[in-house]
Structure 1
Amino acid sequence: MSGPTEPKRLTRQRDAERTRAAILTAARTLFSTRGYAHTGVREVAELAGVNSALVGRYFGSKLGLFRATLEVLDITPMFQLERHRFGVAMVAAFFDSPDAPGPLAMMLLSAADPEAHAASVEFLQKKVLTPLARWLGPPDGEGRAAKLSILWNGFLTSWKLLPLPALTGARLASTRRWLEAQTQAIVDEGEA
């Protein structure tokens, strides 16, 4: 039977998907600018334009919502690219969305809350470091993944979170080329 209830179900499903997406977008914005400890469920709901009860309905808790925002961490699509272009492609990903609320900011600002901080460390390991180390392979894939994380986190922190005045204009373009080369050099350590 596909009568009048079918369109209603589809409409409700689309509304639920839109509501969930709005909540996630609002949460990413607040977690990446104010931090986990200084962001409340009501504030997320208000920014998303929804009732705060929906946050609990979709995500269970504030920590569940935080974990869901971290799900954007997925480096694996980068592994489909040609290995010799990884540095250029990875750095391009940083520059393609310079104003988007970032997972790095969310993770760094989560340090004030032990549960959120633990979730950040877990997700960084599970979604970035472990798959990256596996892709890099021997020798010392784990060590090289750690080097890349240090390099990228240092750059992103100095560019966006604790901005260095020198990272603008021509200097930023020069730094981008340097970051591409350093990233690629760490990737290529396994090729020698």
Structure 2
Amino acid sequence: MPRTEPKKPTRQRDADRTRTAILDAARTLFSTRGFTNTGVREVAELAGVNSALVGRYFGSKEGLYRATLERIIDISPMLHGDRRRFGVDMVAIFCDTQDASGPLAMMILSAADPAAHAASIEFLQTKVMVPLAAWLGPPNAEERAARLNILWTGFLTSWKLLPLEPLSDARIASTRRWLEAATQAIVDEGTG
């Protein structure tokens, strides 16, 4: 009689799919409603799973929020491209990605909750500011990283979250070129 292998790989794939579905649902709800106005049951319903699984995989709503931030905030992949094209490449992510403002919206809408606010600042610092400053290098790496963050969050807020008419999709081309140049100028401060 042939020996049958246990079904662990299928179970693991199911667990991975369930975890991914929960994180996708959490991202959608946290970035449209914020932390306070998002319930675990709503996340589970959107993910198509039992709400007990949210607790099983993430421990709590705060744990789910932190796991969602961990998944969506990471500038490191952008730091491996051509430094001379950083402005163009970074702005392409903002302008050409369907949900570029999602992480920012999630953090802004969740700022009223102290735990979510602290998690947002922690992940922004560790997953964006520190690696970006290390990549930028001297002079004034931390200050330049902060200026880039101000530039990008200001743009995304004015374009997507609190839309200004001059930044409508049909009129974004010249602002996009400006943002590419402004981003690149801050990056190039360290090379001149």
Same fold (TM over 0.5): yes
- Shorter-chain TM-score tier: over 0.9
Letter in structure 1 aligned against 2:151 = L
Deviation at 1:98, TM superposition (A): 2.7
Counterpart for residue 158 of structure 1: 158
The 1:131–1:100 alpha-carbon spacing in structure 2 relative to 1, beyond 3 Å, is closer
CA deviations on 1:122-160 (whole Å, 9 max, x unpaired) are: 000000001100110100000000000000000011111
Match of 2:40 in 1: 41
- How far apart are the structure 1 equivalents of 2:121 and 2:35? 14
Q: Contact 1:29–1:101 (CA<8 Å) still a contact in 2?
A: no
| Rounded Cα–Cα distance in structure 2 between residues aligned with 1:88 and 1:110 | 30
Whether 1:90 and 2:93 are equivalent positions in the alignment is: no
Show the counterpart of 1:173: 173
Offset at 1:62?
A: 0.3
Structure-to-structure mapping, 1:1-192, within 5 angstroms: 3-6=3-6, 8-71=7-70, 72-99=72-99, 102-192=102-192
User: How many positions carry a matched residue from both structures?
Assistant: 190
Which whole-Å CA distance do the structure 2 matches of 1:81 and 1:10 have between them?
35
Identity %: 74
Q: 1:35 to 1:3 in 2, by over 3 A?
A: farther
| TM-score normalised per structure 2 | 0.95
> How many angstroms does 1:4 deviate by?
3.0
8 Å contact kept, 1:28–1:101: no
Shift of 1:169: 4.0
Gaps of at least 5 residues in structure 1 are none
Structure 1 residue 84, shift from structure 2 partner: 0.6
The TM-score with structure 1 as length reference comes to 0.95
State the Cα distance separating 1:100 from its structure 2 match. 5.8
SS in 2 for 1:138: coil
How far did residue 78 of structure 1 move?
Answer: 1.1
For residue 42 of structure 1, what is the amino acid of its counterpart?
R
Matching residue's letter, 2:104: L
Q: Are the equivalent residues in 1 in contact too, given 2:101–2:160 (CA < 8 A)?
A: no
The root-mean-square deviation of aligned C-alpha atoms, in Å, is: 1.4
Gaps of 5+ in 2: none
User: How many Å apart are 1:51 and its aligned residue?
Assistant: 0.2
